[in-house]
Amino acid sequence: MPDPTRLPSWSKLAAHAEIMRGVHLRELFARDGGRFRRFALHFEDMLVDLSRHRITEETLVLLLDLAREAEVEGWRDRMFRGEPVNVTERRPALHIALRNRTNRPIRVAGEDVMTAVNAVLERMRRFSGEVRAGVRRGAGGAPFTDVVHIGIGGSELGPRMVCEALAPYADDRLRVHFVANVDPADLSLTLRRLDPGRTLFLVASKSFATQETMSNARSARAWLVARLGEEAVGRHFVAISTHRRRVAEFGIDPADMFEFWDWVGGRYSLWSAIGLPIALLLGFDRFLELLEGAHAMDRHFAETEAVRNLPLLLGMIGIWYTDFLGAETTAVVPYDQTLHRLPAHLQQLEMESNGKSVDREGRRIAYPTGPIVWGEPGTNGQHAFFQLLHQGTRLVPCDFLVAARSRTPLGDQHEQLVANALAQASALAFGRDETEARAELRAEGLAGADLERLLPHRVFPGNRPSTTFLYAELTPRRLGSLIALYEHKVFTQGIVWNINSFDQWGVELGKKLATRIRPALEDSSIGDADPATAGLVAHLRALRAAS
């Protein structure tokens, strides 16, 4: 594909953006009384409000023209067929197969992958059921009460986010803990409150060689062996991996190894055996509901016409802000405390996928790609970063996620929460102009110089865009569809930017350098390290010697 900036619609969008820079959302709503209805889209019980974006129907026409010229729908169809859309690694990207609840055949090298997918799902069903029922027990005969999932990156962020988001659906049979950081505090503080005889460990590493994961796994193993003996390892550890030999060498029976495949990227893997902690915490039926929600969004993305296709439209609106209106970041603000890890999961999904400066043909690119993704639950964020959103100098599109019903009702607190979410989206869009601010100050009893002094500080420019996702309740099905929606949004943007959203070579260099630096922390030789690193290592060694 050519540089997208050379496509006919790109230049038209650039010209259109110059016009839209001077248009305020107040003006757009004032001249179109049906704007909300026209820009509100529906998926099952979820309404997605696009009306508070700095767009018109002409904007959407041009953006969809760009998607068509970039062949987004063609690439989408190739992904669903199992073709190698991961061009640098020459692999398919088949997370959609993991939640393919219609069981439609998806072939890779002539083989239907659904046979293997369904076999692993059945093993997950049996295993999670046995652990939850107390049939599978520890070495001393006690049922498990705690599960420690050891992984990192996509092997931890996704399942942890889901477990915490769906915690209201959990019973008291098991507690699930996550350890990712090689910082010893992460594992040590987790283990200090656990009974080894009642603790089950899941070690998630495709190669069973991921440095951080295996360091934590070996330390957890040593902790268990010191208390229960070597023979307990096989009863208390299972593996989520593809490397049978390394799993067996660790002391885990390969029969307790849950496979996944090289066509599943880490950040897309929660739908696979990496999701085993979800099934253990919630029960396998809830895990299937999660898959069903994602599959429903897959079908929507694959089958819905462009003008109503949520992932396609959200992806293209993101491109509008990133490439034509100069936005560098996106804020994700779930008005749901249980979704506090969603921004972190989406950081990896978007920034690892589309944080690229080389296109699919290996050419350097000069246009902006993936935005910086960040966020925090509301209402906490209102007392932290919302000042910048409202009155700062940067354009930051926001995503608000709101449930109509609370799963943990307490007095009128959910009503307060929802009111804040709706109010913040409104305030960002419409702001408060000088006339309104002046009237408010006068109502507070201010006049003269005091009023004029405060007036500039009480003006809110507005015209700050947002998407509001409003749904009945955060069920496993709804969460599954939301995650899949973001996945397909990222895919859409990667195709338009002509980059490969499914590799992550950028994480490799630092890892390789760390293996070279590690011996130098205890040895005087630092080799050919840069002067700053050499100086830091020398000072670190001096600090240790002085203590």
In whole numbers, what is the pLDDT of the chain averaged over residues? 96
Name the catalytic one among 230, 434, 511, 539: 511
Cβ atoms of 233 and 196 within 8 Å: the answer is no
The total number of residues shown for the chain amounts to 547
| CATH number for the segment(s) 9-90+302-427+466-502 | 3.40.50.10490
pLDDT tens readout for residues 43-91: 999 999 999 999 999 999 999 999 999 999 999 999 999 999 999 999 9
- Whether pLDDT at 463 is above 90: yes
Query: What is the CATH architecture of 108-287?
Result: 3-Layer(aba) Sandwich (3.40)
Return d(Cα 491, Cα 76) in angstroms, integer: 8
Cβ atoms of 353 and 490 within 8 Å: the answer is yes
Name beta bridge partners: 470. Answer: 47, 402
pLDDT tens readout for residues 133-179: 999 999 999 999 999 999 999 999 999 999 999 999 999 899 999 99
What are the CA-CA distances from residue 35 to residues 13, 313, 401, 462 (Å)? 21, 16, 20, 17
Active site includes 383?
A: yes
pLDDT tens readout for residues 263-306: 999 999 999 999 999 999 999 999 999 999 999 999 999 999 99
Q: What's the pLDDT at 148?
A: 98
Name the catalytic one among 42, 230, 383, 452: 383
- Whether pLDDT at 220 is above 80: yes
Return d(Cα 278, Cα 16) in angstroms, integer: 46
Return d(Cα 235, Cα 196) in angstroms, integer: 11
How buried is 82 (Cβ within 10 angstroms: 0-12 exposed, 13-18 middle, 19+ buried)?
Answer: buried
Map out the domains of the chain as residue ranges.
Answer: 9-90+302-427+466-502, 108-287, 431-463, 510-546
Return d(Cα 159, Cα 42) in angstroms, integer: 27
Cβ atoms of 362 and 501 within 8 Å: the answer is no
Name beta bridge partners: 400. Answer: 333, 468
What are the CA-CA distances from residue 254 to residues 152, 241, 242, 257 (Å)? 22, 10, 10, 5
Model-wide pTM > 0.85: yes
Name the catalytic one among 212, 259, 350, 352: 352
Q: Which residue has the higher pLDDT, 305 or 504?
A: 305
What are the CA-CA distances from residue 246 to residues 206, 211, 236, 253, 463 (Å)? 11, 13, 17, 11, 56
Is it true that 9-90+302-427+466-502 and 108-287 share their CATH fold?
Answer: yes
Q: What's the pLDDT at 524?
A: 63
Question: Residue 171: helix, strand or coil by DSSP?
Answer: coil
Which are the contacts of 427, defined by CB distance < 8 A and separation ≥ 6? 390, 460, 462
pLDDT tens readout for residues 385-443: 999 999 999 999 999 999 999 999 999 999 999 999 999 999 999 999 999 999 999 99
Active site includes 149?
A: no
- Whether pLDDT at 101 is above 90: yes
